[in-house]
A and B are shown apart, each in its own frame.
Chain A
């Protein structure tokens, strides 16, 4: 079964870019541009990895990460948390995200992170 990445990103160009990288790695992509019902989105899409933006309509990235990591059905899914916020490193390290990226990022870093995390639940 093909691996799937769910991208939460409100900037359509950035979402497209991240999507291209995921596709080129050979994985499936799904998109959401807001975070009003993250849990439901994740339960429907059943991704193997989540890429989450911080400043995004709805409850926002930080609360979404918290919610997903607190919910038993979703807590095992690795999350890459990224943002263009100043001082994001502090915010991200204090969150439960598995990895974080500061925008603007290098595509190779994103690729490496996806590659490292997407198989983490395989035994």
Chain B
């Protein structure tokens, strides 16, 4: 049997030496658990020879790195006689660190006493390093993801800020023309809440007011081919906000997988601008027409005079000369008015401030106008013994303008009534004609700079500029100007000017 045991021991020894795991055995019956055996792999891992190892406690492998937490786990296991597994930092003979995956198991005798401990160990430095790198990488990645997320959130906030600040209505549509988003300006402009719009079809919302065939055709058919398109004009009667002229820009966008062929629609309200442009065009058309009219008369009369001169005729030249002169006078007044308009608009007129007698300026202007409209009947009544503070020539201009208009537009009846009176601390001057009258809807607009009564009603050519100037002058003087009139019933133009007290 000893032979057999000996052979077996040799086989075990060989087997242990063939293992890649380091094996170490300590004797628990001797003080401090000295190492009594280690295999070749243990020597290979640690760099020590067996002779250098035997007799030491295993802790010699920890060198000066003595504060590792896992030591407590080992100590507890040894004390309680249990097995344990730990990863511990050990040091090779040359001082280099290696991570040791250590399993410790106690060996009991037949009485249950612990005789030995067997330690199995592995150099897991590479695995540890990989784990460590992996951890680092993970932490890095997490940090980078956090940073990137923050950046994206900030970016989104920033873009959102831009979108919300922009003074244009923006709407985002999915490829089926469902509304995905509208900005605040859109809500404000159309007087709607985005809740009422989002996830609904563009053609269904706002009582179908966006169901505009040309627009839908544009978004569905034109946009995919001509992306982006700009300046598509829509004139439409929208709920809550009425008739509006909008300029639309659209672009089709594809971002990643989620946003394929989405549509961004930006709209600008050009209603006011269009009205102003239109008024300006009208003004130029009227101004040039009004200038050409007296020029026609001057030219015609000069040609007639030339003929008379050639024929040696002297009869009848006077009315021709007078008509030419009067027309030139009209032309020059018109030009002066036009200049006044631009100066009043740019605020470059200088207004003198003196005490002006209403009686005086009314008498002078009435004299001048009644001379031009000699077949008209001008009636003056009331109390004109009033003084105001202001610019004499500007105030005269207003009265002249009102009298001239009244005379001009009451061709048939030829009667103009001028009433002057005191109302509170104001002088009130009213000019009444018995002419064609003005429709209610035009009462305010006739004082606009570029206003003329619509193309089908050609009755008020030339009146627009004068009334605009008058209104500017009177409001500069702290007064008001207005009209009361009905079609066919004549008109009463009234002004008030603060009295000089």
B304 and A104 contacting across the interface, CB-CB below 8 Å: no
Contact of A14 among B296, B411, B456, B459 (CB under 8 A): B296
Q: Inside 8 A of B241's CB, which chain A residues have their CB? A: none
Q: Interface 1/0s, chain B 67-91, versus A by CB < 8 A? A: 0000000000000000000000000
Report the Cα distance A13→B301, complex, angstroms: 10
Minimum CB–CB distance for B477 against chain A, Å: 33
Q: Is B1 part of the contact surface with A, judged by Cβ < 8 Å? A: no
Q: Inside 8 A of A17's CB, which chain B residues have their CB? A: 296-297, 300-301, 304, 323
Report the Cα distance A58→B460, complex, angstroms: 11
Q: Is B461 part of the contact surface with A, judged by Cβ < 8 Å? A: yes
A56 and B326 contacting across the interface, CB-CB below 8 Å: no
Q: Interface 1/0s, chain A 1-36, versus B by CB < 8 A? A: 000000000110110110010000000000001000
With known contacts A58-B458, A84-B292, A13–B326 Cβ distance under 8 A: yes
Give the secondary structure class of A's interface.
loop
Contact of A13 among B284, B323, B458 (CB under 8 A): B323
Q: Is B288 part of the contact surface with A, judged by Cβ < 8 Å? A: yes
With known contacts A55-B289, A86-B285, A104–B296 Cβ distance under 8 A: yes
Minimum CB–CB distance for B47 against chain A, Å: 106
Report the Cα distance A111→B136, complex, angstroms: 103
B residues 419-461 touching A (CB-CB < 8 Å): 436, 455-459, 461
Number of A-B residue pairs, CB cutoff 8 Å, is: 67
A residues 62-105 touching B (CB-CB < 8 Å): 63, 83-86, 103-105
Q: Inside 8 A of B458's CB, which chain A residues have their CB? A: 10, 55-58, 60
Q: Is A59 part of the contact surface with B, judged by Cβ < 8 Å? A: yes
Minimum CB–CB distance for A60 against chain B, Å: 5
Q: Is B303 part of the contact surface with A, judged by Cβ < 8 Å? A: yes
Q: Is B40 part of the contact surface with A, judged by Cβ < 8 Å? A: no
A residues 35-56 touching B (CB-CB < 8 Å): 55-56
Q: Is B472 part of the contact surface with A, judged by Cβ < 8 Å? A: no
A104 and B326 contacting across the interface, CB-CB below 8 Å: no
**B298: nearest chain-A partner, CB-CB:** A104
Report the Cα distance A27→B226, complex, angstroms: 64
Contact of A104 among B284, B295, B323, B436 (CB under 8 A): B295
Report the Cα distance A48→B293, complex, angstroms: 26
Chain B residues with a Cβ closer than 8 Å to the other chain, count: 27
Q: Inside 8 A of B289's CB, which chain A residues have their CB? A: 55, 83-86
With known contacts A103-B296, A107-B304, A84–B456 Cβ distance under 8 A: no
Report the Cα distance A84→B291, complex, angstroms: 9
Q: Interface 1/0s, chain B 272-290, versus A by CB < 8 A? A: 0000000000001100110
Report the Cα distance A58→B458, complex, angstroms: 7
A20 and B295 contacting across the interface, CB-CB below 8 Å: no
Minimum CB–CB distance for A82 against chain B, Å: 9
**A16: nearest chain-B partner, CB-CB:** B323
Q: Is B108 part of the contact surface with A, judged by Cβ < 8 Å? A: no
**B461: nearest chain-A partner, CB-CB:** A55
With known contacts A58-B458, A60-B455, A107-B304, A14–B297 Cβ distance under 8 A: yes
Q: Is B160 part of the contact surface with A, judged by Cβ < 8 Å? A: no
Report the Cα distance A103→B300, complex, angstroms: 10
**B301: nearest chain-A partner, CB-CB:** A17
A85 and B285 contacting across the interface, CB-CB below 8 Å: yes
Q: Inside 8 A of B326's CB, which chain A residues have their CB? A: 13
B327 and A104 contacting across the interface, CB-CB below 8 Å: no
Instruction: List 18 additional contacts besides A14-B296, A60-B458, A103-B295; criterion CB under 8 Å.
Output: A13-B294, A13-B297, A13-B327, A17-B297, A17-B300, A17-B301, A17-B304, A17-B323, A33-B411, A55-B461, A56-B458, A57-B436, A84-B292, A86-B284, A104-B296, A104-B299, A106-B299, A108-B303
Which A residues are within 8 Å of any B CB, using their own CB? 10-11, 13-14, 16-17, 20, 33, 55-60, 63, 83-86, 103-108
Which B residues are within 8 Å of any A CB, using their own CB? 284-285, 288-289, 292-301, 303-304, 323, 326-327, 411, 436, 455-459, 461
